[in-house]
Structure 1
């Protein structure tokens, strides 16, 4: 975008550029390994509240191993333009099938017919999973990070959980699921204009979901009962009367912890702060609305009974509650959803932001998978 300063903190060998047209978007991407033509393509899909920038620490290793690595700012995020990111906008443009079309259009715009692997983190994980599920001829392998894929929903798709929401609200103290808060009209403004300021909010949010926060000691939950889900930290199952900024504020890092945070120093945090201050969060929050409204389930139920047939891998931080937030999903991914499951790796010393917290270990697991999954 004209007039925006270059992204700071990019390792040598990474470049920032724009690709269009991408399913109605002008898409901002970071890429590495672009100097040599016809390298195998690896596509990296970020989650919330992240950006293509979130992959900066693993991209050099993948490029050094001989891959052309591309990480886009996905629809509604960062420097990618063309989406209507208002709360009032039609949310269909943010549904999973639309996001798969974005990925497919980006591959075509890069002059490619296939991808060696699509790798997705957080909300990028279900996008990557559906890329592989729907177009295995293009997306030849898939690595899912932090969010397990349990497979497409049954027909008819289940309801969005009103009884569970009522049961959570009836607990003492009353609780709510973060996805439904993120789907509310006020969530975007709450976070962008929070009392502690955007920088302190994002610092606390990234900290509390990382291995740096001592409260992250995840375990398998017994099931979907409200009492079971309420055992998760409040950034997943929130107090009914609090917003996310207020939820994470008491758990923000000390000055000493910030100074010791090698995976996200202040200069790199400032990139996220600058980008979200400019764009707000609503583009990413609209993704959540496609889930809580039932839109994603209705659309992806078209693939009910299908499995991911291409080689599949799962990587997450050992201190990441995202692995267990959907009870049974981790097991279903390994036993049912993926026909050629190549392994589950829980990386020590990492929470939810695994590719930023432990990029070396993540890069090693991904490269092993890329080599083993080649035909």
Structure 2
């Protein structure tokens, strides 16, 4: 079986990044989401390596073994794209394919948008490309969904970290189950006086794609850094809107692939289906949209075989 190896790489952005990697060949950068790390790509690292690619999954800024600065404003989208670009350059290649899931998807879309010269192709899971809106996002979400909407809840200093770090195993177990295709549909709106995990039920048993060992692996990876860095990504939503004004509605020009589960809470969110249906307006070389029936938010973990097949087919076509 193909071995996954680990090392640290100095991104030219200045961040020392932990990466998991496998294989040799054209570079494929795998960008994880929240609350994840390199481990969420465990099935793709080996499959891509066996298909003839050099698959690299970093722990992104603030996450797991990479860690990051304490300052909230050091987690803007431009910092995150800078890390991805700097990692491509540090790995010594002229171009890479960039794959992102959840929060990793906006980073991948933005990397392709801002630095198309470095991106051979972009593939995103769960989160579609959305053009920059006309107003700052946090106030818009608060008006539409209230103070309890989880992205608004995450704006509070220290509160979400304290909740998630109280029992990390329960945090990962409940979050991973709640947003999966195996759980009852739910809306991530925190009840008044409650916490995010109040909307994440305990699973009666683990779904087929998740084990107690997987949960333990995520817990181990987060032991050194906790949740502050990851949540700081959400605290930069309005800052990202300000910083990306120069790219307002700029197209994403590299070849693209989009994959989503039809039970993903992101797909069920306000305006998501419309954004997906109109994505080719701003992603003119969108090659395919792949729907996975019965799949929830954790796309590459819930349906690794289908995701691997779609990714490898797309990457080989470039």
- TM-score of the pair, normalised by structure 2: 0.94
Match for residue 17 of structure 1? 7
Is the partner of 1:283 in helix, strand or coil?
helix
Match for residue 278 of structure 1? 224
Is the partner of 1:141 in helix, strand or coil?
strand
Q: Describe the shift of the 1:274–1:158 C-alpha distance in structure 2 as closer, same or farther (beyond 3 A).
A: same
Higher alpha-carbon Rg: 1
Q: Describe the shift of the 1:350–1:164 C-alpha distance in structure 2 as closer, same or farther (beyond 3 A).
A: closer
- The correspondence for 2:52, drawn from 66, 73, 76, is 66
Contact 1:316 1:346 in 2 (8 A): yes
Find out whether 1:100 has 2:52 as its counterpart: no
Q: Describe the shift of the 1:133–1:121 C-alpha distance in structure 2 as closer, same or farther (beyond 3 A).
A: same
Find out whether 1:367 has 2:307 as its counterpart: no
- The correspondence for 2:153, drawn from 181, 191, 196, is 181
Q: Describe the shift of the 1:129–1:103 C-alpha distance in structure 2 as closer, same or farther (beyond 3 A).
A: same
1:212-251 alignment to 2 at 5 Å? Answer: 212-213=182-183, 215-216=184-185, 233-234=186-187, 236-248=188-200, 251=201
- The correspondence for 2:164, drawn from 157, 181, 191, is 191
Find out whether 1:149 has 2:129 as its counterpart: yes
- The correspondence for 1:120, drawn from 88, 100, 110, is 100
Match for residue 79 of structure 1? 65
| Aligned-partner Cα distance in 2 for 1:20–1:168 | 40
| Aligned-partner Cα distance in 1 for 2:43–2:141 | 39
Match for residue 137 of structure 1? 117
Is the partner of 1:338 in helix, strand or coil?
coil
Aligned-CA RMSD value: 1.7
**Gaps (5+ residues) in structure 2?**
none
Find out whether 1:110 has 2:91 as its counterpart: yes
| Aligned-partner Cα distance in 2 for 1:142–1:128 | 7
Contact 1:99 1:127 in 2 (8 A): yes
Match for residue 173 of structure 2? 203
Following superposition, the deviation at residue 165 of structure 1 comes to 2.1
Contact 2:126 2:297 in 1 (8 A): yes
| Aligned-partner Cα distance in 1 for 2:40–2:99 | 13
Q: Describe the shift of the 1:168–1:60 C-alpha distance in structure 2 as closer, same or farther (beyond 3 A).
A: closer
Q: Describe the shift of the 1:321–1:67 C-alpha distance in structure 2 as closer, same or farther (beyond 3 A).
A: same
Q: Describe the shift of the 1:240–1:331 C-alpha distance in structure 2 as closer, same or farther (beyond 3 A).
A: farther
Find out whether 1:356 has 2:291 as its counterpart: no
Contact 1:129 1:144 in 2 (8 A): yes
Following superposition, the deviation at residue 95 of structure 1 comes to 0.8
Following superposition, the deviation at residue 331 of structure 1 comes to 2.5
Q: Describe the shift of the 1:359–1:137 C-alpha distance in structure 2 as closer, same or farther (beyond 3 A).
A: same
**Gaps (5+ residues) in structure 1?**
1-10, 170-174, 217-232
Following superposition, the deviation at residue 22 of structure 1 comes to 4.1
Following superposition, the deviation at residue 28 of structure 1 comes to 0.4
| Aligned-partner Cα distance in 1 for 2:86–2:154 | 28
Following superposition, the deviation at residue 163 of structure 1 comes to 6.2
| Aligned-partner Cα distance in 2 for 1:52–1:24 | 20
- The correspondence for 1:302, drawn from 213, 228, 246, is 246
* Count of aligned pairs between the two proteins: 315
